[in-house]
Chain A
Amino acid sequence: MTRSVRRTRTLQAAGAGAAALLALSACSSSSSSDGSSSGSGSGTSSSQKLSGTVTVFAAASLKESFTTLGKDFERQHPGTKVTFSFGGSDTLAASITGGAPADVFAAASPKTMKIVTDEKDAAGAPATFVRNQLEIATLPGNPGKISSLKDLTKSGLKVVLCDKTVPCGAAAQKALTAAGLELTPVSYEQDVKSALNKVVLKEADAAVVYKTDVKAAAGKVEGVEFPEAAKAVNDYPIALLKNAPNTAAAKAFIELVRSAEGQKVLTQAGFLKP
């Protein structure tokens, strides 16, 4: 008995959420550039119920927050399913331009998004939905007494950076340049999680990673903020893809991400609002 009552309640809640989303979508569609047929399209989608699978390709750093949002979305739109492919933004971009059947692409840098837009694989202009800032991850308790970016150049300290070819590495380089510092790490890691893991495993004393990564590894590393991070803030763009198999649901998902509700989840994970 109680079960059925609860069910109707969630359905009602979902309906309310969907209505709110539709209102948002109407809002955003006016600002988006695909104005030719989107008006009528969104009109039909508002009367139709969303269904089917939404495939989202997203940067690895979005894993925790997007997984939460995916569950929210499925709850709000019964009958839909959100599947994710998390990975390095470059790798994801390469598979999209290679013809992978995805609906949404959320990248960790405008540069990787540009790979997709250059190939005209995005439907409309991408929008920045969050920003990520760098932070120094140190061993728990900060035994090296690291308080600034300059402290990382102390001798005897093992520091790992991301490789320059991946966004977190490029951002770290930007911050170092802004600070006028030369830093020789022990390793240029292949991605931000590898860099973080070296500190988690105590092989390295510090790593320059994203705030979100420090937050995700709560307890295992300690975060140290530094002012130069402001010069190397990373924009995360999101875009609907041209060959999206499920355009309507994809749009709805993007709207959820950019909604107040979505932003709450993302900022909780350590992202900054755009």
Chain B
Amino acid sequence: MTDIDETLSGVSAEDVPGAGLDARLVVDRGAFRLDVALTAAPGDVVALLGPNGAGKTTALRALAGLVPLTDGHLRLDGAALDRTPPERRPVGVVFQDYLLFPHLSALDNVAFGPQCQGSSKAEARAQATEWLARMGLADHAGAKPRRLSGGQAQRVALARALATCPRLLLLDEPLAALDARTRLEVRAQLRRHLAEFEAVAVLVTHDPLDAMVLADRLVVVEHGRVVQEGAPSDIARRPRTDYIAQLVGLNLYRGQAEGHTVRLDVGPVLATTEHLSGPAFVAFPPSAVTLYRDRPSGSSARNLWRCEVAGLETHGDQIRADLTGELPLAADLTTVAAAELDLHPGAVVWATVKAAQTHAYPA
């Protein structure tokens, strides 16, 4: 145990100038081009979040050296790694489906890295034993991967990657292969292990919850580009693309702000509490929307739109209505309310949003 603690904290990376990750990853594949800048300090956990095909995994593979860079640079703790082959990069990878070597026991899987780095078999096994104990897997050291549960396999994969003492830990969709119940438990464990890890960790996910729980910082990638990055709470509050807005469950519009109103690009004018001018985003949650069967007479005319129901789906214990019309938006309402309003595709409804429940910010 103490051995590992020492190796983990052996080099105090913060003291070294240029410590951490500084990369611009450009990978050109004809139709697809990835161009992503990534920086992170030791101890940071960065999540690459994005839809399928956005280039997240390509970015991860480029960091690991499994895909060559077309352009850009890659520096880790001050050392250029652009041309270093994967086996000589101080990088550990936890693959999506773990890729534990099926012919080796859990122990030998974890001992594989140290042994490749020059440790004797006995030393490597001793280190592996400690890592497995740390992961709570001491009893499963002799088990072949196919006898491990999903959560156990995930931890073995993490131990295997950490056993090489990487300066950069990469995790590709670390929780995607797990069922919902295991996921909750493993996510909490992973969070703990990542918090203990003192070098840079980069994880790739398409699940906003995983990203927000595990990472200090989110980098959102769409079509090979970074579209937004920042702290999870910031991104959740102020999404800048439809994809992120959808992920965090917000209605998002772009427009021109003039004082307390924003003229949306789609047409209507929205009243807000913030005082802004120039290009701006306005966001509000679907739960902030109130629907009426007839045009409400008592309500002020501001933020009132005539809409048509395009579709309905259950969303937890709520009904989510997809509306088209003057302003396309999503609205959440209770099942009872939906029944009272007699909502069905094609039904005409009036939607209102209180200015206090919207959030406007500069674009």
Chains A and B share a contact (CB less than 8 Å): no
Which B residues contact A (CB, under 8 angstroms)? Answer: none
A residues whose Cβ falls under 8 Å from a Cβ of B: none
